[in-house]
Amino acid sequence: MALRAKTSLSTKLAVTGLLLLCVVPVGAGLFRLYVLAFGEITPDNARFFASPLPVILHIISVSLFGVLGAFQFVPSLRKGSVNWHRRMGPFVWSMGLLTALTGLWMTLFYPWAPNDNWLLYLFRLFVGSWMLVALALAYWLVRRRDFAGHEAFMLRGYAIGMGAGTQAVIFIPFELVFGHPDLMGRALLMGLGWAINAVFAEWLLWRRDRQSRLSSSPRLTGRTIA
Q: What is the DSSP letter of 187?
A: H
Q: How far, in Å, CA of 125 to CA of 120, rounded?
A: 9
Q: What is the DSSP letter of 180?
A: S
CB 193 within 8 A of CB 167: yes
62 falls within a domain: yes
Query: What share of the chain has pLDDT > 70, as a percent?
Result: 83
19 falls within a domain: yes
Whole-model pTM: value is: 0.84
153 falls within a domain: yes
192 falls within a domain: yes
196 falls within a domain: yes
Q: How far, in Å, CA of 92 to CA of 72, rounded?
A: 9
148 falls within a domain: yes
65 falls within a domain: yes
CA torsion sign for 50, 56, 57, 63 is positive
Across residues 191-211, what is the average pLDDT? 89
Question: Around Cβ 31, how many Cβ atoms within 10 Å?
Answer: 12
Q: What is the DSSP letter of 41?
A: -
222 falls within a domain: no
The pLDDT tens digits of the residues spanning 150-193 come to 989 999 999 999 898 899 889 989 999 999 999 999 999 999 99
User: Is pLDDT above 90 for 111?
Assistant: yes
Give the count of domains, the chain.
1
The pLDDT tens digits of the residues spanning 17-64 come to 777 878 888 888 999 999 999 989 988 899 999 999 999 999 999 999
Q: Which structural domain range is residue 170 located in? A: 9-212
Q: What is the pLDDT of residue 15?
A: 67
Query: What share of the chain has pLDDT > 90, as a percent?
Result: 58
